[in-house]
Amino acid sequence: MTVQCNALKPYDVQAAESHQDFALDVLLGLSRSPKALPSKYFYDAEGNRLFQKIMDLPEYYLTECEFEIFQNHKDRIGELIGSDRFNLVELGAGDGQKTRVLIDHFLGKGLDFRYIPIDICEEALTELLQELQGYSPPLRIEGLVSEYFVGLKWLSNQIHDKNVVLFLGSNIGNFSHSEARVFLYSLWNALNDEDYVLIGFDLKKDIHRLTVAYNDSQGITAAFNLNLLRRINRELGGNFDLDQFRYYSAYNVYSGAVESFLISLREQTVYVETLNQSFSFEAWEPVHTEHSHKYLVSDIAELAEETGYEIIEQSYDSRGYFVDSLWQVRKNREM
């Protein structure tokens, strides 16, 4: 097994850069009105641990839906992807649990591939690589600690290989519609004609089901959001008092997203040492932390068409809550 974390640049360089990016994004996010912090910073080691717990919650249906889809449609997905040698690239791999259903199946069918998980969280990726070490037949694997867009740079160098890119678990939902378009078009640019992309979309559904999924009874989702303030305290020398903020989330029918916030419970000032800056909060002032967009089937068709892909297959779970959509890159030809 080759374990190659951070093939693009030495880790300390990238770590220093991402620390600076974090500081800058916190400065920008807390200086603007309304205040907002990017959800990509949820995923430090503790955030990742909390997200694993969210995926096991009974209310958070998304994970079990995608498991069911892979169990029931792995044959078809394997057949469509074909028998040529390929790179199985996973953007935002996390703990890779669901992907293992596909990996096991592909290995069992004798498909010739190497697995390249890419994730922003080094701890999660290291754990995943360790867990996959004992595979028999051996799995060829190379991990990359990076953000999606750095991952795309790596992909754009794989010009002689067939690539199959996994973007699962409704990660696409954390982009706005315009960000999703830019991301998918950048992915298209980095890929070769006829490469595949498998994307997990959470579909629009009963609003109660959506609301409950992001307001679990154990308060794990609240802790997941509040951990972002704890991360600012630890990494940037902030003095947020977590008891003075409350998690709030609701589905917005106009934006089609579950929108999450941390609300300041009183008038307060927070100092962040690395930024040498104080930020004032009014009582009940919200800080936007995340949007989780939900899709109509027609939105998916439009998105594929606009960004240069052909939809090959849509695989649904039995409740019709979630779809894994297999797309193929189309270049240099009329569709």
Residues making contact with ligand AVI (CB under 6 A) = 54, 62, 169-171, 173-174, 214, 221, 290, 292
Shorter beta-carbon distance to ligand AVI: residue 292 or 328: 292
Shorter beta-carbon distance to ligand AVI: residue 156 or 171: 171
What the block records as the tokens of 60 is 């958070």
* Residue position matching structure tokens 């592909």: 106
Shorter beta-carbon distance to ligand AVI: residue 119 or 290: 290
**Partners of 271 in beta bridges:** 278
E strands, 168-256, where? 196-202, 245-252
List of residues 6+ apart from 167 with CB closer than 8 A: 90, 91, 92, 187, 197, 198, 199, 200
Residue 174 CB, shortest distance to ligand AVI, in Å, is 5
Query: For residue 203, which phi and psi values (nearest 5 degrees)?
Result: -90, 155
CA dist 307 and 298 (Å) reads 14
Residue 9 CB, shortest distance to ligand AVI, in Å, is 25
Which of 184, 204, 240 lies closest to 26 in space, CA to CA? 240
Residue 212 CB, shortest distance to ligand AVI, in Å, is 12
Residue 169 CB, shortest distance to ligand AVI, in Å, is 5
Shorter beta-carbon distance to ligand AVI: residue 94 or 308: 94
CA dist 308 and 333 (Å) reads 10
Torsion of CA 328, 294, 185, 37, to 10 degrees: -140
Shorter beta-carbon distance to ligand AVI: residue 188 or 224: 224
CA dist 125 and 176 (Å) reads 26
Shorter beta-carbon distance to ligand AVI: residue 119 or 122: 119
Shorter beta-carbon distance to ligand AVI: residue 88 or 199: 199
Residue 171 CB, shortest distance to ligand AVI, in Å, is 5
Residue 187 CB, shortest distance to ligand AVI, in Å, is 17
Residue 173 CB, shortest distance to ligand AVI, in Å, is 5
Residue 295 CB, shortest distance to ligand AVI, in Å, is 12
In eight-state DSSP terms, residue 110 is T
CA dist 85 and 326 (Å) reads 18
CA dist 331 and 169 (Å) reads 27
CA dist 149 and 136 (Å) reads 32
Shorter beta-carbon distance to ligand AVI: residue 99 or 174: 174
Question: What count of other Cβ atoms lies within 10 Å of the Cβ of residue 157?
Answer: 11
